[in-house]
Structure 1
Amino acid sequence: MQYLLLIYRSEAELGKMDAAARKQMTAEYGAFTQSIIQSGHFKAGDGLQPSTTATTVRVRDGKVMTTDGPFAETREQLGGYYLVEAKDLDTALGIAARIPGAKDGSIEVRPIMIYD
């Protein structure tokens, strides 16, 4: 089964990181990504540009409306994702717990819908 692991963290806190801390974080993500590629769990994944680059689209009464920025103001913003193959939810949760961002943010784990 496939699971989407959504990585949330504070962009404000990320912005406060010095160059050495950013380099360390990048190395941790690189090592994690390589580990799930080698284990066969990795399907896709990427970091996202800051939420200030987002555009939210809504359609109301047939009219398309766009708003700059994310859908809602929150303490943590969606910063990236991994799409993984895992035998069950417990396996997906174990993978999510190893994502470096879980240490100071949160990881939302959601199963991908299967259409028959």
Structure 2
Amino acid sequence: MRYTLLLHYQEMDAAQLGEEVMAEGQRAFASYAATLHEAGVLLGAEVLQPSSNTTTLTMADGTLHVQDGPFVDTKEQLGGTIVIDVPDLDAAIEWGRKAPAIGWGAVEVRPGALFTVDGEWRPNT
């Protein structure tokens, strides 16, 4: 099953973050992408189901909070997406929990509706 991890975090440019923080974030995402690739779950872009089918993850004091819906109570931006192919929502949540962005904001886990292979649209089942 394909899931898209939508990464939300506060909008800041490189000057506001600082060189060191920017470099650390880039290293964290490079490592995460390499781990997803090595696990064989990293894919590409796809059309998403309605936002009402979203599960939103946040971390507070080391505790994972799972919420139905895309209703992140924040002023953070959608900063990026990662598309993975895993057996079920529980597996997608575990990968979302490991995303570096969860330390800075929320990670939405949303199932895909359709995806394309060699120009042909297919349902996500």
TM-score normalised by structure 1 residue count? 0.69
Is residue 82 of structure 1 aligned with residue 75 of structure 2?
Answer: no
State the SS of the aligned residue for 1:44. coil
Match of 2:3 in 1: 3
Is residue 44 of structure 1 aligned with residue 44 of structure 2?
Answer: yes
Match of 2:106 in 1: 106
- TM-superposed CA distance for 1:17, in Å, is 1.1
Q: Distance in 1 between matches of 2:92 and 2:13?
A: 27
- Larger-gyration structure (1/2): 1
CA-based RMSD:
2.0
Unaligned stretches of 5+ residues in structure 2: 46-73, 115-122
- TM-superposed CA distance for 1:2, in Å, is 0.1
Give percent identity, aligned residues only: 25
Q: Distance in 2 between matches of 1:15 and 1:75?
A: 20
TM-score normalised by structure 2 residue count? 0.64
Aligned length: 88
| Amino acid across the alignment from 1:97 | R
State the SS of the aligned residue for 1:87. coil
Q: Provide runs of 4+ in structure 1 moved above 2 Å.
A: 12-16
- TM-superposed CA distance for 1:13, in Å, is 7.9
Q: Deviations over 1:89-110 (max 9, x none)?
A: 0110010111111101110000
| Amino acid across the alignment from 1:93 | I
| Amino acid across the alignment from 1:98 | K
- TM-superposed CA distance for 1:44, in Å, is 2.3
Unaligned stretches of 5+ residues in structure 1: 46-73
Match of 2:22 in 1: 22
State the SS of the aligned residue for 1:22. helix
Q: Deviations over 1:20-40 (max 9, x none)?
A: 110001000000000000000
| Amino acid across the alignment from 2:10 | S
- TM-superposed CA distance for 1:18, in Å, is 0.9
